[in-house]
Structure 1
Amino acid sequence: MKLEKIKPLIIIIVLFILAFAIRAEAYNIGGVPKDSKQFYKDQSGLPYFSEMDSYYNYRLTMNYLNKGMLGDTKVNGEDWDLHSYYPPGRPVDYPPLIVYVTSFAYRIVNIFGDYPLTVVAYWIGAVIGSLCVIPAYLFTRRISNDYGGIAAAIIIGLTPVYVSHTYAGFFDTDMFNMILPLLFVWLFVESINADTLKRRLTFLVGAIISILLFSMAWVGYIFYVALIGAFIIVYFILRHLMGVERETYKSRIEWLVNQRELSMFLLLIIIGGLLLGLLRGFPALIGSISGLFSGVQLQATAQTTAYPNVYVSVSELQVPSFLEGNPFLPNQVSVLGGVGGLLPFLCGLLGVGALIWRIRSLEAPRVEVKKRGKRAGKKSKFIKYRRIPNIEEKRGEYLSYLSLICVWLLLTGYAVTKGFRFLSLFAIPLGISAGIFTGYFVEYLRDNLKSRTSIAIVAFIAGILLIYPFQVSVIAKILVGIIAILIVLSINNEKFRATSMMILVTLAIVSAPVSGAHALTSSVVPGTDDGMWNSLTWIKNNTSRDTVVMSWWDFGHLFAVAADRPVTFDGGSQNTPRAYWIGKALLTDNESLSLGILTMLSTSGDMAYNTLDNYTHNSSLSVKILTETLGLPRDDAREVMINKYKLTGAQADNVLKYSHPDKKKPFVLILSSDMLAKAAWWSYFGSWDFDKKEGEHYAYYTSLVASKPEVAGNVTRIVTVNDPSGMVGVLIEKMANETNATIVLMGANGTSEKIKPHRLILIEGNQLVKNEIVDENSPFGLLVVGSEDSYMTVIMDKKLEDSMFTKLFLLGGFNQTSFKLLHQEPGVLVWTRA
């Protein structure tokens, strides 16, 4: 009896340990070769964070602990960030819960020892993310049983799209995106079903606290309030259509007063709205409500100017495909894979059917009831029948579950069509529904399968499904299926045999999410390394405080933390004109223009093109004027603006004080190896055609590993592979004093095509040996770098051959005079104005 009482607690502990242990695996950074792991750890041995938003959250938390505010300073009473979007910085309008929770945890753990903030931030996402198994288990267990609760907890807690944002080393607000919505919905449903007023109010207060906390973690928290409202509407419609009532009532007033769903929702709106208004401000509350309706426009994010929208390059905002690859296996690119594979998805859909079956199975004899106080023979408009009270109560309860799950699935399913980032929202009701199906299904098997043969068949299938996601051989899968049969049939006690079958089936259903989550966390690579961190530390120690750090946006938050210098472009300023200008500075072959762009952005920010827009009222024309003048001396630029583009002298001077400032801010330009893979995007924005409203994607294809020469007679051959599929490579042949190189494209049928490069650039031992045009009509250039008897190659689109990125990063500044190299680390070059 005691064991039965503490069983839920034991299950919860085991579920949390499982969820946390899989997330903790990321600490081992299994995606990094063993001999390179130290390169991806800080001086204390802690791996670097896995993505760059973590550094923004870390910096805000550090500010809060040191200054008592999230920003660097106050501007007009508002927290202001001087490190981001410099100049002028930007307001810290950011959900603060992650800062408050991490600061609280930091203070608590430091009571027992000396733990740096980096350590607390590194682990807290894994802890908070794992907590979602608790409400998932308790909620689903109430609807079904322990098996269903366990299945739901594992499917939800180890949903691939959620684990990918909550493992150790991923310090972002995503950690709250399951635990708080689950708590809110579960506690609200409990407030409806509680049997006393005191318990109802207690659960409602818990729900209100949950949504208050969630409002400090995600601006879309209001979605879940709307979800509850939609659920109640659907529930009352279905209840009316099905003739389901909890009790009979004498009048409309009495009926209305006794509707728990309505009364609890009204209290939620009144009390919760008042507290939210006091906590977040009533304008923010109204803004969140209006934002709920504008949220459906995510894929059509309006561009207020003619500049390109950088959000098209953010994978989380892309609409996911329904299926990619093996449907049974988890992945990060499709709906099926993102929720754990086909089996959890199907079980989630079948859970709706299981609830309908459950409601129908509660049918009981009905007794007709006539309405009192009315003419004989006229029946009530509200109550046609009265069923046995406890049966009727249960039917109403399960109908509410059905209404909730259906509405939840439909609304979050619609949200998924607006972006991949919303897939984790969909995974919550899907996991609960899958758990409901699992619980009912294993009970059905227990009650209806009695023969050893039928149990053996179920065990065999469950065994295969259990091992399938681990991608072992067919023989191994069959072997596991046979072992499952032997285990089940070896149990003589009928009750224990049925229990073992139920456990096997439950494990089979959750196997894919578990294996997918483990595969993900065991292949983590930190988002940065010693090369970048040491470069930023050098900048911090060797440049003036007003030095501005510039690069593509991805590492902006890291720059602000490690270099402690302002940045022009980061993850909080992606969708701004700076995406075009930074891309242009990297793509152009005009070094004076590139330097002019960087000087303008680092000194005056957006002021030059914003001021010019006020005169031209045409962003496309403003860009044309600046592109033509930023690379010119000030006087020449003024002449072009006045004589060619008809600006007045005063207008030209007003623009020039921002585009060609007298007092230039010092800046550093960081170029790193990761930007090779990102070239398709920075070149797309940098090549933006303001008339056609499109850009061009240009790319580098670097060899995967260095290759050793192979000597055959008087010919030395080097072969490199420049594509993971092995379909693209380079063949280099060296004969006496002549070196030839060709690009090789492999066909699917084994044939190959050799393409001469447009330009061949050959570097041997840091010496430029060849830089010449080979084939005017070829679309690709080729760089070959030989060092210590090994060769690396880079195939590039012809447009990139003379780009500033190629000149500065791949050629080390060869043949340019506008920039000088300040510092170099493995994979990172730091440049400044010459």
Structure 2
Amino acid sequence: MGRVFSVLTLLFLILIPIGVGLYIRFDDGKVWRGHREVFYYKDRPLFTSYDAFYFARWAREEVEKTYRAGKLDPLRFVPDNYITGNVTYPSPIPMESYIGAGLAKIFDTHIENISYYLTPLLSILFVVPFVLYFYRLGLPVSGFGGALLGSISLIYLIRTSICRFDTDSLNLFFPFMAGYLLFETYRVEDKKLRIALLILAGLTLELYNWWYSHPGLVTVIFMFYIIYVASIRRINFSKEDWKNLTVLFLLSNPLTIIEGVKNFYGSVYTYLYSYFHKSVEGGFPNVQMSIGEQKHFNLKLLSEMTGGNEIILIVGLASFLILLYRYWKSLVPIIPVFLIGLISFKGGNRFAMYLSPFVGAGLGFLADLLIKFLKDRERLNQWMEKTAVILLSIFIGAGFVFANEKSVKFVAFPKITPGLTETFLKLREITPEGSWIWTWWDYGYAIQYYSNRAVYHDGGSQVSPKTYFVATTFSTSDPRVAYNTILGISNLGAKGIEDLIKKGVKPQEIRDEIFSGEFSKPIKHPVFWIFTSDEFGKFGWINYFGTWNFDLKRGRRGLLKPLKACTLIDRNILNCDGLLIDLNKGTILVSKREVPIKYLVVREESRIGKRKFNDRGLIVEFISDRKEKMVFLEDEQVYRSMFNQMYILRNYNKNLFKLVWDNFPTSVVYQVRQ
């Protein structure tokens, strides 16, 4: 009976975190089904991450039998894919795409419907090796606490929600499973079983690399296993130890481990060094400054994301450090995961999800210490010990759920609207096959997925000078400069810019030559410029890069504020979000201070009217189209920008651009004339 009770206790420690983790993820379904107009496009739920479109395209092409592993990818990073030939389909196809494609074929449905269930189900698998690891250490509540807090922490929930379809769903499972298997290799006496564990660990690491394509992590885990063996053998390796290391090295794929050295260095540079520098590639601005997932948290926000509050984070982390001090030899195989989590204190919010399990384990360790204290004084028999484990786990688990109220209430929202989904699908109809799409990078993957059209940059290629030049077309007031830039980049690509830099041409000189039309040669592919509604909120950063001053190494954000809930409180006084716009005096009342209005601009259908109030001040725009009435507050630089003129006002140079789709405010599409 004692053995049965132990098994039941272990099942409790595993199944409760899994059940709670699945519940808070699938609980979002009630909101999604109740508001299908927001969360669905027809019969397709909408993805909740930008990268989901990346993996979904590969899956869709695998289903359609058009995926070409290792061959040139015609849809990514034009024109450089044609210039260099280095922009190719991943080989092999990413595991997530492969699994998604297989399930989509079996159930005869869209990839989105597969991702609705797949991501949450995969995300909680890490619970099994994590609980087993600490259970074998004699720290059952530590394992339970880490598994539960890890599965419900807000940062992990956000990154593994329904329809996320991203690699984070197994990015805890693989390293914890590999770590657990490696940990067990020197706890078993049977040599054959040890080899079997090493084979399983090696295959796990190989699958991890297929899943995440970050060989540097495989290399680090392998190196820490060497440290693990050295700590046990006190550096006196036997022939058997070398044999074991060789088995792991071969099964983990030697090429992966060797490649991982370079990959590890590149990852450290990207996330810890280049983020804090404003310029890349010879002085062009660094777009990573604007990427939310690479910004570091303050302590309060980091606490909310990982543990629920500051007390849990601080006490849990301090307790885990004590645990680590006392059991460091046994924990060496999973220390790499802990170190990744610590990066969240410096930069990169995605790494906070690696920290949560250790914070939970630290708090659980306090309960394990109490149980051990009572057990050492013979106040607990085996039955009482298991009962104490369950009761303390319930107590700690309830505390975690209570502290993580934001996780319980969290509802995952799509990264795309049904309207934009319709627009990108519409691109297949209104643009010829082989067209190139000029727009901001965030929806690059989505355009590739829905429209099967090529883009200049996307979520995996936005860190290049091309992103700066895309931004300049949005912020410039000169349509000819925008036109020359689009054609210039279409001919040069990032490779051409890199070659000019190697020749000693300064970034400002490259910019001026492109602006002047030095490289504005016709190209074979039709080019379409798309403006989308998400860019209202992103325009501050777009304008910042587009107005970059190479001497001062900064740009200007500019003012573009969509005003909502506008109502007339008098015949000529408009109340918008608490701002009082006096259309008689030409002023805006802000906190009892009057701000002058320079222009009042009104667009009704295709007619644009303009009234001047003052020689200086802000610009107020009224847009009254068939679908929607909108009000914008802008400074003069933003008012004159192509973003405002072509997108909001649809005032454009007909000799350079042709309007082909007007679905404002969702999207506006122009063709670049050649």
Q: Distance in 2 between matches of 1:150 and 1:339?
A: 14
Higher mean C-alpha displacement, 185-194 vs 822-831: 822-831
Change (3 A) 1:829 1:517: same
1:400 and 2:332 correspond: no
Change (3 A) 1:69 1:407: closer
Q: Secondary structure at the match of 2:396?
A: helix
1:827 and 2:666 correspond: yes
- 1:439 is matched with which residue? 368
Change (3 A) 1:343 1:186: farther
Distance apart, 1:679 and its partner CA: 1.0
Change (3 A) 1:229 1:509: farther
Structure 1, unpaired ranges of 5+: 72-77, 241-251, 325-333, 360-397, 451-492, 631-655, 722-728, 747-751
- 2:267 is matched with which residue? 295
Q: How far does the alpha carbon of each residue in 1:222-272 deviate from its partner, in whole angstroms, 9 at most, with x for none?
A: 4465356457648967998xxxxxxxxxxx9xx6539xxxx65x4564233
Distance apart, 1:771 and its partner CA: 3.8
Distance apart, 1:412 and its partner CA: 4.3
- Specify the code of the residue in structure 2 equivalent to 1:189: F
Q: Distance in 1 between matches of 2:135 and 2:659?
A: 63
- Specify the code of the residue in structure 2 equivalent to 1:830: V
- 2:94 is matched with which residue? 99
Picking from 303, 310, 314, the partner of 2:291 is 314
For residues 145-160 of structure 1, the aligned pairs below 5 Å read 145-160=139-154
Q: Distance in 2 between matches of 1:510 and 1:441?
A: 19
1:350 and 2:319 correspond: yes
Asked if the contact 1:620–1:690 (Cα under 8 Å) also holds between the matched residues in 2, the reply is yes
1:53 and 2:22 correspond: no
Q: Secondary structure at the match of 2:593?
A: strand
1:270 and 2:246 correspond: yes
Distance apart, 1:763 and its partner CA: 4.1
Distance apart, 1:610 and its partner CA: 5.3
- 1:327 is matched with which residue? none
Picking from 399, 407, 416, the partner of 1:528 is 416
Q: Distance in 1 between matches of 2:308 and 2:152?
A: 8
- 1:38 is matched with which residue? 37
Picking from 230, 238, 243, the partner of 1:257 is 238
1:578 and 2:466 correspond: yes
TM-score, normalised by the number of residues in structure 1: 0.71
Picking from 305, 309, 331, the partner of 2:282 is 305
- 1:652 is matched with which residue? none
Q: Distance in 1 between matches of 2:93 and 2:175?
A: 16
Distance apart, 1:579 and its partner CA: 1.0
Asked if the contact 2:134–2:143 (Cα under 8 Å) also holds between the matched residues in 1, the reply is yes
1:717 and 2:646 correspond: no
1:706 and 2:565 correspond: yes
1:83 and 2:75 correspond: yes
Change (3 A) 1:791 1:512: same
Change (3 A) 1:770 1:110: closer
Q: Distance in 2 between matches of 1:607 and 1:146?
A: 55
Asked if the contact 1:320–1:335 (Cα under 8 Å) also holds between the matched residues in 2, the reply is no
Asked if the contact 2:530–2:667 (Cα under 8 Å) also holds between the matched residues in 1, the reply is yes
- 1:25 is matched with which residue? 27
Asked if the contact 2:79–2:456 (Cα under 8 Å) also holds between the matched residues in 1, the reply is yes
Q: Distance in 2 between matches of 1:444 and 1:502?
A: 14
Q: Secondary structure at the match of 1:295?
A: helix
Q: Secondary structure at the match of 1:824?
A: strand
1:191 and 2:185 correspond: yes
Distance apart, 1:213 and its partner CA: 1.1
1:811 and 2:649 correspond: yes
1:687 and 2:547 correspond: yes
Q: How far does the alpha carbon of each residue in 1:196-235 deviate from its partner, in whole angstroms, 9 at most, with x for none?
A: 2233222222221211111223344444653564576489
Q: Secondary structure at the match of 2:640?
A: coil
- Specify the code of the residue in structure 1 equivalent to 2:342: G
Picking from 553, 556, 561, the partner of 2:441 is 553
- 2:452 is matched with which residue? 564
Q: Secondary structure at the match of 1:755?
A: strand
Change (3 A) 1:235 1:344: farther
1:419 and 2:345 correspond: no
Asked if the contact 2:148–2:397 (Cα under 8 Å) also holds between the matched residues in 1, the reply is no
Asked if the contact 1:581–1:597 (Cα under 8 Å) also holds between the matched residues in 2, the reply is yes
Asked if the contact 2:41–2:418 (Cα under 8 Å) also holds between the matched residues in 1, the reply is yes
Q: Distance in 2 between matches of 1:66 and 1:139?
A: 42
- Specify the code of the residue in structure 2 equivalent to 1:567: V
Structure 2, unpaired ranges of 5+: none
- 1:323 is matched with which residue? 300
Q: Secondary structure at the match of 1:292?
A: helix
For residues 324-339 of structure 1, the aligned pairs below 5 Å read 324=301, 334=302, 337-339=305-307
Picking from 608, 616, 621, the partner of 1:783 is 621
Distance apart, 1:572 and its partner CA: 2.0
Q: Distance in 2 between matches of 1:603 and 1:168?
A: 41
Picking from 566, 582, 587, the partner of 1:733 is 582
Q: Distance in 2 between matches of 1:610 and 1:269?
A: 43
Asked if the contact 1:760–1:772 (Cα under 8 Å) also holds between the matched residues in 2, the reply is yes
Picking from 667, 675, 678, the partner of 2:535 is 675
Asked if the contact 1:743–1:757 (Cα under 8 Å) also holds between the matched residues in 2, the reply is yes
Q: Distance in 1 between matches of 2:330 and 2:125?
A: 23
Asked if the contact 2:420–2:667 (Cα under 8 Å) also holds between the matched residues in 1, the reply is yes
TM-score, normalised by the number of residues in structure 2: 0.86
Change (3 A) 1:122 1:502: closer
Distance apart, 1:164 and its partner CA: 1.4
Q: How far does the alpha carbon of each residue in 1:281-302 deviate from its partner, in whole angstroms, 9 at most, with x for none?
A: x3x5423113324433333338
Q: Distance in 2 between matches of 1:507 and 1:435?
A: 9
Q: Secondary structure at the match of 2:159?
A: coil
Q: Name the Cα RMSD after superposition.
A: 3.7
Q: Distance in 2 between matches of 1:511 and 1:449?
A: 32
Q: Distance in 1 between matches of 2:316 and 2:500?
A: 59
Asked if the contact 1:699–1:796 (Cα under 8 Å) also holds between the matched residues in 2, the reply is yes
Distance apart, 1:548 and its partner CA: 1.3
- Specify the code of the residue in structure 2 equivalent to 1:417: K
